[in-house]
Amino acid sequence: MDFDKFAHEIITKTNNKTVFLKTFNPIGKLNYEYFIAKRIIGSKTYKSSISAPIIKIGIVAIAIGIVVMMIAIATGIGLQQKIRDKVVAFNGHVTISNFDSNNSQESVFPLSKNQEFYPEFKSVEGVSHVQGVATKFGVIRTETDFEGVIYKGVDNDYNWQFFKEFLVGGRLPNLETKWSEEVLISQYLANRLGFKLGDSFQMIFAKDDPEKLPNYVKCKIVGIYNSGFQDLDKQYLIGNIRHIQRINQWDKDQIGNFEVFIEDYSKIEQKGIEIYQNTPSTFNTQTVTEKYYSIFEWIKIFDKNIYGIIGIMILVAGINMITALLVLILERTQMIGILKALGSNNWSIRKLFLYNASYIIILGLFWGNLLGLGLLFAQKYFKLFPLDPSVYYVTEAPVYISLGYILALNIGTLILCLLMLLVPSYIITKISPVRAIRFD
């Protein structure tokens, strides 16, 4: 049904406003603004009208905007989480060590494992795991090459969860044997030194007295990992803590430091303070964000980038929708005049066009979500877009997909675009019924 002809027929039959509303509202309490908008959208003339290309551009703008915003959020949050998890894998969320002036990563002053907070940190809620480790600088020597690395000694309490994900070959070291020689080496170091699974080599550890012969530890490669965080991969070799205890002449219950893992990363600053307050006064604590301050400050910039992209995309989509709405109003000027002549108020007519705009926005959101989620899932499972690990600390663009932010993004875009359309829809109040009906 062509509404213009239908309305014109009614206006020629009667000038009574009540008769019009009853004639047009046979159901009673029908939302007639929605009804008219639906009929306009479904009409053939609407699809072939002057405004059709403008409307298609508006739909495409909304779709592209939602795709870009979804990718920005998914990759931004995904990159933050990946980098954070990789740093935490090597250090824990909070490190407990002795107070000393040594700023290196080598364990110098030992701690006793006989602490109230070990093996379970019951005094602080939200702590998931505590493990004792020790680190020592050494040199890997081969027949043709050598490389300086950090030997990280771990025990049976070590949480291998992260390194299970990083494992690219072999298996994790078995530390059940007291003097186990099994080690886990990074793919970076293995490629650099020409190692493969099953190879053995010697590590040399210097003594404080240069006149004394260095200590030697034999190592056998049983696993190769690749975290993608090259700055850490080229430093760490993971093996048996007993070798460090022997070299440093420590007791079997002495370690270099404790690594504490918490359940909720967002509370790391709070938990860091609580852990400090619940450890002896001779102990120092340091959160991973303090230890790697520059890295965590860098990834915070992603939040600003995300907000900036969202703002720009919503602004662009809103401007396109404003253009489409103005064209729609101009194209339906006669209909606006007829509705006013039949007794419709300005807000009712504005609602009609906002319903029409909502349809366009929702259509754009539908196609945008379809394309955006398709790209995100393709990246998640097929790793289509690699990244340079020396720059981004990851080998491919990670994505974070959550129903929460997808719904928030869609609802927020719809509401903000409609709010932006309230201003241009005000032009309807300036249209005179007499001039509008005669408008050509």
| Sequential DSSP letters for 307-345 | HHHHHHHHHHHHHHHHHHHHHHHHHTHHHHHHHHHTT--
Q: What is the pLDDT of residues 103-148, one digit of tens each?
A: 677 888 899 999 999 989 999 999 999 999 999 999 998 888 889 9
Q: Is 286 helix (H, G, I), strand (E, B) or coil?
A: strand
How do residues 206-236 score in pLDDT, each as one tens digit? Answer: 887 777 788 999 999 999 999 988 889 999 9
What is the CB-side half-sphere exposure of residue 240 using CA atoms within 13 A?
Answer: 22
Residues 36-54 as b or e (16 or more Cβ within 10 Å = b): bbeebeeeeebeebebeeb
Asked if residue 194 has pLDDT above 50, the reply is yes
Q: What does pLDDT average to over the chain?
A: 87
CA–CA dist 86, 80 (Å, integer):
10
Over residues 392-417, the mean pLDDT reads 92
- Copy the structure tokens of residue 316: 């662009």
Residue 36 tokens read as 């008219």
Q: Are 138 and 203 in contact (CB under 8 A)?
A: yes
The predicted structure's pLDDT at residue 46:
59
Residue 71, pLDDT above cutoff 80: yes
Give the pLDDT confidence score for residue 14 in this predicted structure: 38
Q: Is a pLDDT exceeding 80 seen at residue 11?
A: no
Whether residue 276 has pLDDT greater than 90: yes
For tokens 């050509």, the residue is 440
Identify the pLDDT of residue 409: 95
Q: Residue 392 corresponds to which tokens in the numbers above?
A: 């981004």
- Residue 390 makes CB contacts below 8 A (sequence gap 6+) with 230
pLDDT of residue 17: 43
CA–CA separation, 171 vs 184, rounded Å? 8
pLDDT at 153: 96
Query: Which segment of 229-238, 255-264, 307-316, 382-391 scores lowest on mean pLDDT?
Result: 382-391
The whole-angstrom separation of Cα 302 and Cα 279 is 35
Q: What is the pTM of this model?
A: 0.81
Q: How far is CA 325 from the centre of its chain?
A: 34
Give the C-alpha separation, 367 to 63, whole Å: 6
Q: Per-domain residue ranges for the chain?
A: 3-83+297-437, 100-281
Q: What number is the average pLDDT over the span 402-413?
A: 94
Distances (CA, A) of 163 to 86, 186, 195, 226, 392: 9, 10, 19, 9, 19
Q: Which residues pair with 96 in a beta bridge?
A: 258, 285
Percentage of residues in the chain having pLDDT higher than 90: 61
Closest CA to 106 of 210, 222, 206: 206
Assign 58 to helix, strand or coil. Answer: helix
Q: Which of 417, 421, 405 minimizes the C-alpha distance to 313?
A: 417
User: Residues 283-334: pLDDT tens digits?
Assistant: 999 999 999 999 999 999 989 999 999 999 999 999 999 998 888 888 888 8
> What Rg value do the Cα atoms of the chain yield, rounded?
34
Q: Which amino acid belongs to residue 242?
A: R
What is the pLDDT, as a whole number, of residue 440?
57
**What is the distance between the alpha carbons of residues 127 and 145, in angstroms, rounded to a whole number?**
43
